[in-house]
Amino acid sequence: MNSDAKSVLVLVFVAFAQCGLALTCAGLTEAAEQDPTLQALESFPRHETDASEDETKHFQRLRDIAAAINLATEDTTERAALAVLAKRESGLAAYVYEDRCSDGPRKQYECDRGRARGVWQLHANRDNPEISGDVYDQAKIAVKLWRGHRYRCAGSSQDQLAGAFAGYATGKACSWGGAASRASETRRVAAKLWRRK
């Protein structure tokens, strides 16, 4: 085979490789765009401290949180609850996600005076003496806590979801002022997740 034929073959190979890479990247982007959990997170208002954040960085954070939610539970209501908890507890803010709470607007008062960690604002306790910095580990803890309060408060609260949010927020009580609002938002998000499946 002469050198011209080899050059043509190399060019053809490079063209096919680039085409394959482009199709793979397009497929990944399309898959991300079709993830209902990610779409729900993207629909929430951006935290005020992230107003000028790079779009790629913002998307990657939301994608990572959505993936953690999806891995932590297959239940649509629980996925919706985790999305709402992340929104209401941390605003999905970069400084909370990146474990830089003291960089937030309220400095040392952020993240329950530095005692809470991650977008679900988890506190160390007997069952979880240390909160990992891994968002997937945090999602597993958050859903387990929320689920536990949901079942525990089922008999004492008229609204099981509100009871779950009350228990999550207070650590024990099955009623709390902000619970009904979070339960209503969870139902709205869950309905969207069902439609997008």
Whether residue 99 sits in one domain with residue 25: no
Whether residue 124 sits in one domain with residue 177: yes
Whether residue 99 sits in one domain with residue 9: no
Whether residue 178 sits in one domain with residue 126: yes
Whether residue 67 sits in one domain with residue 151: yes
Whether residue 122 sits in one domain with residue 25: no
Report CA dihedral (13, 16, 21, 24) to the nearest 10 degrees. -140
Whether residue 24 sits in one domain with residue 41: no
- Within 8 A by CB and 6+ apart from 31, the residues are none
pLDDT computed for residue 23 by the predictor: 42
pLDDT tens digit string along 12-70? 454 444 544 444 444 444 545 689 999 999 999 999 999 999 999 999 999 999 999 99
What is the distance between the alpha carbons of residues 181 and 115, in angstroms, rounded to a whole number? 25
pLDDT computed for residue 27 by the predictor: 45
pLDDT tens digit string along 79-121? 999 999 999 999 999 999 999 999 999 999 999 999 999 999 9
Whether residue 6 sits in one domain with residue 72: no
pTM of the predicted structure, to 2 decimals: 0.82
Domain range for 25 is: 1-34
pLDDT computed for residue 109 by the predictor: 95
Number of domains making up the chain: 2
Amino acid identity of 106? R
Query: Would you give the end-to-end CA distance of the chain in angstroms?
Result: 53
